[in-house]
Amino acid sequence: MIFLIVFICCVFELIYVSFAPLRSGRWIQLWYRQLCDNFPVRKIFGGASLLVSFALPCAVLAYIFGNVFADSVFLTLLGGTALLLFCSGPGDIAQEIESYTRRYLDEDGNQPPPDTNNFLNNIDAIDGDPDRPYLRAIAIEANARLFAPIFWFSVLGPVGALLFRMSVTIARSPTLDPVDGVVAKRLYDILIWAPARLLGIGLGLGGTLGPVVGVLSRREVKLSQSEALLGDAAIAALETTITDERDQHAALINSMFSLVKRGFVVWLAILALLVVAGVR
């Protein structure tokens, strides 16, 4: 069941149609604000109030899948697929990459302003290193938007996917107070630690494994280093030579996204083998 749900989600999200318009994530921040404004959550729980706001929706979801959907394979499949698609994103990474590269290669000059929500339009390239920040960002975003939710869905079920989606949404919110920001960032660092390293291995298996093993072995295991490690592993795994020529920028971005998709295929195959072996 888990493999089928994950497979459907990957196929829809990376190849066919995206559900990005249905998942802005604003409800997560709204829910937290309403909870704190209408109940003495901060007074009772202090710095743990954010964790309490996460626990309540997760408990409801656990009850639904553990009791309401428990006796129906169809409802479990439908609900699990919808939940995982909802917890991915919130944006469509494939669409954003396509939009960016199309704009980059189009020299007409008669184009609308770039989409500010596109993560590639919000990257500041470093002088003398115009490609690597974009390539690293693709791997990091692919992990946060799709691989990490899939990982936690596979480990903890729907509750795991929802918990990760809530943590990454709050951690990236610009309107958090300092205490909530620290709690959210630490929870995000904890939840991203394992998926970042596993996706790095998948990128190595889909590209060049040797350099990735070197990156993973020499980097520290600190929670806060996960995204940096994944970015380094993605660059090491990319087989295409990185140069400073402008006309290769879009090609390198497409190469990195192809590598990311191969990394997903690697882990889908591993998950399928685990299912066959009776592990999941």
Give the pLDDT confidence of 28-56 residue by residue, as tens digits. 888 888 888 888 887 788 778 888 888 99
202 pLDDT exceeds 90? yes
Give the total number of structural domains in the chain. 1
Average model confidence (pLDDT) for the chain? 83
Query: What's the pLDDT tens digit per position in 111-122?
Result: 556 677 788 887
pLDDT band at 86 (very low <50, low <70, confident <90, very high): confident
Query: What's the pLDDT tens digit per position in 240-278?
Result: 655 555 567 888 888 999 999 999 989 888 888 887 776
| Alpha-carbon separation of residue 155 from 148, 158, 197, 256, 280 (angstroms) | 11, 9, 15, 27, 9
pLDDT score at 234: 92
Output 97 or 280, whichever has higher pLDDT: 97
Contact 154, 49 (CB under 8 A): no
Output 173 or 156, whichever has higher pLDDT: 156
Which domain covers residue 140, as residue numbers? 2-276
Query: What's the pLDDT tens digit per position in 206-244?
Result: 988 888 888 888 766 777 788 999 999 999 998 765 555
Which tokens in the block code for residue 49? 């109030």
Q: What number is the average pLDDT over the span 9-29? A: 71
pLDDT score at 247: 61
Which pTM does this prediction carry?
0.87
